[in-house]
Amino acid sequence: MCSIFGMFDLQPGDDLAALRRQALELSQRQRHRGPDWSGVFVDAGVILVHERLAIVDPASGAQPLRSRDGALALAVNGEIYNHRALRDASGYDFTTGSDCEVINALYREHGAAGFIEHGVSKLNGIFAFALWDGATQRYLIARDPIGVCPLYWGHDEQGRLCVASEMKALAGLCADVATFPPGHVYDSATGELHRYYRKDWRDHAATRGHDVPPAELRAAFEQAVHRQLMTDVPYGVLLSGGLDSSLVAACAAKFARERIEDNDRSEAWWPRLHSFAIGLEGSPDLAAAQIAADALGTVHHGFVYTFWEGLDAVPEVIRHLETYDVTTIRAATPMYLLARRIKAMGVKMVLSGEGSDEIFGGYLYFHKAPSAEAFHEETVRKLDALHSYDCLRANKAMMAWGVEARVPFLDLEFIDVAMGMDAAHKMAGHGKIEKHVLRAAFDGALPKEILWRQKEQFSDGVGYGWIDGLKAHAEQMVSDREFAAAAARFPFNTPATKEAYFYRRIFEQHYPGEASAATVPGGKSIACSSPAALAWDPAFAAMADPSGRAVRGVHEKALA
């Protein structure tokens, strides 16, 4: 994963040399995402800058990627997991071994219109890209269907369209900065956004009555993990000891063992699997992660951080994550600290468990879903919002230190399998634990105390003292008088607690203005629910807190 910066709609009278310098300076603000190399492309109508984190084809995959005739220039942040199949089926004259070059190939083979309608949807991966066609002076901007890779856009004071992987590159440049929507392509020829990601399973009626056998579900996920082991550099897994990260680790360990036994180093030259966890002293996650690691045979690294080390990192976490969302910051801070330790060990890519709770209804509030249809609709809402929450957290917290996080549960082929299942088979409650269909599919793959461990949100699992301490600190740092005037200072998404106010105040220092604030969604939540799900239980409105411990009668150690 890397970072991109693009400036488009340059005019004949523009000073290209000055704009090139400006683009480089702005791109440098996100160079932590791509510390390995920088590339620049300048044409009469465009400037593209790429900061590279070399994961696949480190030797020849530098960007922007050019076509053999020089007409196409492509800057990509991402990974295309099915690039080998696309490459094998293509007649394009490839110039590198980069997985991302298949984007240029699909554009050439389909043409611009066909690429928008059919080509982009052939990509199974995580990506945000800007593609320039010098022959037609046309450009396309696109983002992956779930929004695993971040992307922002806006206009400078001269009306030039600018895009960047992180908002910090556009802060102070674009007064109208906004999040580029996942699953869309922007076409400069029409000036319109096109939704290319459309799925029948979004409607519960299309899934009604459909079940997925456990063996089929397990095979689909194992294949997703296998696809995402595509790397030419050292890799590992994040292992919190919860169900999702443990399943990712179990599948990765299986394939690592197969490579060792078969002496197959074609997919990774570092086959012995390393796992990583973090928590406060005595945290539930550290203990569970060790159990899972011992069972799977990973080389495990469990790191302990102190509350004050976490608190000291919060301002920098907010700057990197570009959000003031409470639950995101709570969870991102230990992840940010863990990423630094992982980077110090020479690891450049990790697999993580994000997305499972959204697909299978794993958050504890799903126990209160009134019907299969309501359950399904909430999973769709959660998937649609992932780019603002867990995907943003995992991507930016890890990339702050130049470590790429991949998310196999959000593999597009696996999503089609899992979301095609009738939610009636996923529902929890009445004696069924959350995500029981997923747990049953992997029976025997993990110790029972891990496979059937209750959902523990990461910000809780690192140690209950973490959230409790953050709340107490905010009480000291935000006066009653200051909080009483919160609506006057922050009329948009007014902070509802002192903790939220504390984070918002830091965010504003780096990203002032309503446009920046509007990139962060608002609304009440319980245990990471969407605002709509608060209607499922009258008690939710009175106990709205993003912690999983807020769900009384479900969490074993619920808040009083």
Q: Which of 2, 100, 162, 391 is catalytic?
A: 2
At residue 341's C-alpha, the angle toward residues 339 and 343, to 5°, is: 70
Q: Is there a single domain that holds both residue 454 and residue 380? A: yes
**In the listed set 134, 165, 198, which residue is the last one of a domain according to the structure?**
198
* Total count of domains within the chain: 2
The tens place of each residue's pLDDT in the chain, 560 residues long, gives 699 999 999 999 999 999 999 999 999 999 999 999 999 999 999 999 999 988 887 877 789 999 999 999 999 999 999 999 999 999 999 999 999 999 999 999 999 999 999 999 999 999 999 999 999 999 999 999 999 999 999 999 999 999 999 999 999 999 999 999 999 999 999 999 999 999 999 999 999 999 999 999 999 999 999 999 998 888 999 999 999 999 999 999 999 887 655 555 444 445 579 999 999 999 999 999 999 999 999 999 999 999 999 999 999 999 999 999 999 999 999 999 999 999 999 999 999 999 999 999 999 999 999 999 999 999 999 999 999 999 999 999 999 999 999 999 999 999 999 999 999 999 998 889 999 999 999 999 999 999 999 977 655 667 788 999 999 999 999 999 999 999 999 999 999 999 999 999 999 999 999 999 999 999 888 878 999 999 998 888 776 566 655 566 665 555 54
Which pair of tokens denotes residue 50?
């790429």
Angstrom distance (rounded) from CA 415 to CA 178:
27
- Taking the CA atoms of residue 232, residue 3, residue 326 and residue 551 in that order, the dihedral angle to the nearest 10 degrees is -40
HSE value, Cβ hemisphere, 13 Å, CA-based, for 56: 25
Give the pLDDT of residue 231.
87
Angstrom distance (rounded) from CA 407 to CA 411:
7
Which pair of tokens denotes residue 207?
């899934």
357 lies in a domain? Answer: yes
Rounded alpha-carbon distances, angstroms, from residue 376 to 203, 321, 384, 421, 529? 8, 29, 12, 10, 13
Angstrom distance (rounded) from CA 2 to CA 399:
8
Q: Is there a single domain that holds both residue 64 and residue 157? A: yes
- Long-range pairs of 500-504 with CB within 8 A, sequence gap ≥ 24: 500/324, 500/326, 501/474, 502/473, 502/474, 502/477, 502/478, 503/314, 503/318, 503/324, 503/325, 503/326, 503/329, 504/324
Contact 552, 558 (CB under 8 A): yes
Tell me the sheet residues that pair with 463. none
Whether 251 is catalytic is no
492 lies in a domain? Answer: no
Which pair of tokens denotes residue 518?
């509007």
The residue range of the domain holding 468 is 207-481
Angstrom distance (rounded) from CA 176 to CA 170:
10
Angstrom distance (rounded) from CA 362 to CA 236:
24
Q: Which helix (H) or strand (E) holds 130?
A: strand 125-133
At residue 195's C-alpha, the angle toward residues 189 and 198, to 5°, is: 150
- Within the chain, how many helices (H) and strands (E) appear? 21, 17
Give the pLDDT of residue 268.
46
Q: Is there a single domain that holds both residue 191 and residue 211? A: no
Give the pLDDT of residue 110.
96
The CATH number of the domain holding residue 12 is 3.60.20.10
The two beta strands, 161-164 and 299-304, are unpaired
Contact 384, 439 (CB under 8 A): no
542 lies in a domain? Answer: no
Q: Is there a single domain that holds both residue 227 and residue 284? A: yes
pTM for this entry: 0.94
Angstrom distance (rounded) from CA 347 to CA 398:
11
Mapped to the 3 state alphabet, what secondary structure does 17-71 carry?
Answer: HHHHHHHHHHHHCCHHHCCCEEEEEEECCEEEEEEECCCCCCCCCCCCEECCCCC
Task: Name the DSSP class of 541.
Answer: H
pLDDT tens for each residue of 238-269: 999 999 999 999 999 999 887 655 555 444 44
Which pair of tokens denotes residue 26?
């702005």
Task: Name the DSSP class of 118.
Answer: I
193 lies in a domain? Answer: yes
- Taking the CA atoms of residue 68, residue 144, residue 48 and residue 194 in that order, the dihedral angle to the nearest 10 degrees is 90
65 lies in a domain? Answer: yes
526 lies in a domain? Answer: no
Amino acid at 47: I
Among 180, 130, 190, 145, which Cα is nearest to 7's? Answer: 130
Q: Is there a single domain that holds both residue 279 and residue 405? A: yes
**In the listed set 481, 506, 534, which residue is the last one of a domain according to the structure?**
481
**In the listed set 481, 510, 529, which residue is the last one of a domain according to the structure?**
481
Instruction: Kindly report the number of other CB atoms within 10 A of residue 546's CB atom.
Output: 23
Q: Is there a single domain that holds both residue 254 and residue 192? A: no
Helix 307-321, helix 326-344: angle, nearest 10: 100
The CATH number of the domain holding residue 420 is 3.40.50.620
Among 67, 31, 22, which Cα is nearest to 50's? Answer: 31
SS3 assignment, position 126: strand
Q: Is there a single domain that holds both residue 318 and residue 403? A: yes
Cis before residue 213, ω within 30 degrees of 0? no
Give the pLDDT of residue 267.
46
Q: Is there a single domain that holds both residue 168 and residue 244? A: no
Q: Is there a single domain that holds both residue 225 and residue 141? A: no
Q: Is there a single domain that holds both residue 264 and residue 217? A: yes
Q: Is there a single domain that holds both residue 239 and residue 93? A: no
Rounded alpha-carbon distances, angstroms, from residue 374 to 427, 541, 548? 10, 18, 20
267 lies in a domain? Answer: yes
pLDDT tens for each residue of 337-353: 999 999 999 999 999 99
Give the pLDDT of residue 545.
65
Instruction: Kindly report the number of other CB atoms within 10 A of residue 110's CB atom.
Output: 16
Task: Name the DSSP class of 204.
Answer: G
Q: Is there a single domain that holds both residue 148 and residue 272? A: no
553 lies in a domain? Answer: no
SS3 assignment, position 405: strand
Rounded alpha-carbon distances, angstroms, from residue 351 to 143, 230, 247, 251, 274? 20, 11, 11, 11, 11
Cβ neighbors of 240 (< 8 A, separation 6 or more) are 246, 277, 285, 288, 289, 353, 458, 461
